Amino acid sequence: MSSPSPLCAASCSTALRAPPPLLRFRRSAAPVSASVARAAPAVSDDLVLRIAEQLEDSVTSSSPLLDPLRSASALSLLSTPWPTRRSSEAFRFTDISYLRSFPISLPSRAPDLAPPASPFPSHVLFSDGLLVSASGVHVSALADLPPGRARDRAAAALAASAEFAHKDLFYDFNAVGARDVVVVHVPEGVKAADDPVHIMFAYTNRGVESMLMSNPRILVVAEKEAEVAIVEEHFGAGEEGGCYWANPVAEIIVDAGARVVHSYLQRQSFDAAHTKWTVVQQDASSKYEFVEVSTGAKLNRHNLHIQQLGPETETELSTLHLTSQNKQIHDLHSKLILDHPRAFSRQLHKCIACCTGNSIFDGNIKVNRYAQQTDAGQETKCLILSPKALVNVKPNLQIIADDVKCTHGAAISGELDPNELFYFQARGINAQTATDALLYFFGAHVIKRIPFKPINEKALAEFKELLASSRQTTDEALLS
**pTM assigned to the model:** 0.89
Sign of CA dihedral 209, 474, 301, 223: positive
Residue 462 in domain: no
Instruction: Considering only residues 375 and 209, tell me which one the structure prediction assigns the higher pLDDT.
Output: 375
Residue 443 in domain: no
Instruction: Considering only residues 292 and 61, tell me which one the structure prediction assigns the higher pLDDT.
Output: 292
| β-sheet with 375-384: strand ranges across | 130-135, 123-127, 191-203, 227-236, 259-267, 287-294, 314-323, 344-353, 375-384, 405-413
Q: What angle, rounded to 10 degrees, do the helices at 431-447 and 418-425 form?
A: 120
Residue 458 in domain: no
| DSSP state letters, 91-141 | GTT---GGGGSS-EE--SS----PPPP-SSSSEEEEETTEEEEEESTTEEE
Q: Domain range holding 232?
A: 46-310
Predicted pLDDT at 2: 41
pLDDT per residue over 437-454, tens digit each? 999 999 999 999 999 999
Q: What is the mean pLDDT of the chain?
A: 88
Residue 91 in domain: yes
Predicted pLDDT at 476: 61
Residue 60 in domain: yes
Work out the average pLDDT over 19-29: 41
| DSSP state letters, 446-457 | HHTTS--HHHHH
Count of domains forming the chain = 1
Residue 388 in domain: no
Least confident stretch, 106-120, 293-307, 401-415, 418-432: 106-120
